[in-house]
Amino acid sequence: MAAAPDDQRPGYSVRIRDMAASSRPRERLAEDGAEALSEAELLAIILRVGSGRGSAVELAQSLLSGRGLAGLEAASVAELCAHHGVGRAKAVQIKAALELGRRLQLEPVDSRPEIRSPADAAQFLAPRMAALPRETFQVVLLDGRHRVIDVSKIAEGRVNTVGASMADVFRDAVRRECPAVILAHNHPSGDPSPSNDDAKLTRTAAEAGKLLGVEVLDHVVIARGPTNPPNFVSLREHGMEW
């Protein structure tokens, strides 16, 4: 039997939904962080679905081939739509994501809040935590100048029962090479007084942080109530040492 011409041969492709969960871009990003994904995998998450010729990852690879991210940014919506498998919705999603990245690059680094005191930490955290209906444990990630890089939600529920392991507490700080963190949780009761369990958790985290090279600056308890000024207690300010 004569072989079919190359352009008529059926393709061989694995759909993302048929991949093992640990290999899917969205699941990998959630588990390992965006830094662990290739440009094609990140673009595939934006595209969501592929085309008749292949998966979203393969469509992303073909879009990036020969042009890269800079070429995608320079391309118009109409030019992106001319690529097989890219309709207007996908083209607009691509352009929106690239524009967000461009604006992020233009944002001054110093616009990030700088935490110099317990009051600064409470002022930053209160709008995020004071009205939460359930106790939530979070970690504020800081750079070398104690500017906020991000906030990681570690667990929800009573802090002494949520089972927040030190691996969970420091995972993002280690991955993003943060030299310092501030622990934080809220008290929906309205009373910010720290418990013995809060103190125990803080000491355990401080010791673990020393081994990992991450300094625990403070543990701030935000209580339900006003956010300006916030209703809070700093364990460091409360006289606790570690």
**pLDDT digit string (tens) for 88-98?**
999 999 999 99
> What does the alpha-carbon distance between residue 13 and residue 53 come to, in Å, rounded to a whole number?
8
Which of 106, 123, 144 terminates a domain? The answer is: 106
Which of 78, 106, 134 terminates a domain? The answer is: 106
The residue assigned the tokens 């919705």 is 89
The verdict on 221 and 172 lying in the same domain is yes
End-to-end CA distance of the chain: 78
DSSP string over 54-67: B-HHHHHHHHHTTT
Given a contact cutoff of 8 angstroms between Cβ atoms, the answer to whether 224 and 232 are in contact is: no
> What does the alpha-carbon distance between residue 155 and residue 168 come to, in Å, rounded to a whole number?
9
Residue 41 lies in a domain: yes
The side-by-side arrangement of strands in the sheet containing 230-234 is: 148-156, 136-142, 180-187, 215-227, 230-234
* Residue pLDDT, tens place only, 205-235: 999 999 999 999 999 999 998 888 999 999 9
Domain span at residue 68 reads 6-106
pTM beyond 0.95: the answer is no
